[in-house]
Amino acid sequence: MNSQKDFKISYKRISIKVDKIEKDVAILKQDVDILKQDVAILKQDVAKLKSDVGWLKGGFMELHVRDRVGAFFGRLLKRASLVDISKLADSLYDAVEKGIISSQEAEDALRVDALVKGFPRKNGQKEVLIAAEISFAVDKGDVERAEKRAMIIRKVLGKECIPAVIGKEFTEGANKACQDQSVLLI
C-alpha cells in the first residue's frame, strides 16, 4: 500500500513538474517569437546602415578625388583640373536642342562623378578629358557607366574623353570589364 501511495505522490510531483515545464516552454516560445521579430528588425536596420555607410564612403571618395585632382590624375595628365559641371551642362543641353543627344543622355552624362581635363604626359599636344566614376568599391556597373558617360561627353564636346573608374576596392567583374572595355582603373 505504501508503494501505491508513494507512486501517487511521485506521479503528482511529476505531473506538477511537467505542467511547469509546459508553461516554461510556452514562455520560451513567446520569447523566441519576440527574438525572431527583433532579429528581423535588426537585419533591416543593419542593411540600411550598410547602405548609408556605403553612400557616405562613396561620397567621401568623390570629395577626396575632386580635392586632390593632381594626386589622382597627375601621373596621366599635365595641368589636370576639373571641368566646371555648369559648362558641361550648357554644352549637353545645347546638344539636346540640336538633336545630337537625348535629354536622358544629357542627364546621364551630368551624373559623371568627375570630369577632368589636361594634356597627356606622353605626346600631350591635344587636351583630353577623363570621365571618372568614383566608388569606394568599384563594380562592373561603375565601369559600364564610365564608358557610357565618356561616350556621350566625347560626342558632345568633340574631344577625346577617356573613361575611368577610381576606387579603394575593385570586384573581379570590374577588373575584367576595365580590360574588355579599355577603361582606366585608378
Residues 6+ apart with CB under 8 A from 38: none
Asked whether the predicted pLDDT for residue 115 surpasses 90, the reply is yes
Closest Cα partner for 76 from 119, 22, 15?
119
Residues 6+ apart with CB under 8 A from 78: 118, 119, 120, 121, 124
Choice among 7-11, 63-67, 127-131 with the minimum mean pLDDT: 7-11
The reported pLDDT for the residue numbered 54 is 83
**In the predicted model, what is the mean pLDDT of residues 71-86?**
92
Largest Cα–Cα distance of the chain, in whole Å?
115
pLDDT, one tens digit per residue, over 127-178 is 999 999 999 889 999 999 999 999 999 999 999 999 999 998 898 988 888 8
The reported pLDDT for the residue numbered 5 is 64
Question: What are the start-end ranges of the E strands in the chain?
Answer: 77-82, 114-120, 128-134, 137-138, 161-166, 169-170, 184-185
**In the predicted model, what is the mean pLDDT of residues 81-97?**
95
Classify residue 179 by burial, with Cβ atoms within 10 Å: 0-12, 13-18, 19+.
exposed
Terminal Cα-to-Cα distance of the chain (whole angstroms)? 92
Model confidence, pTM: 0.75
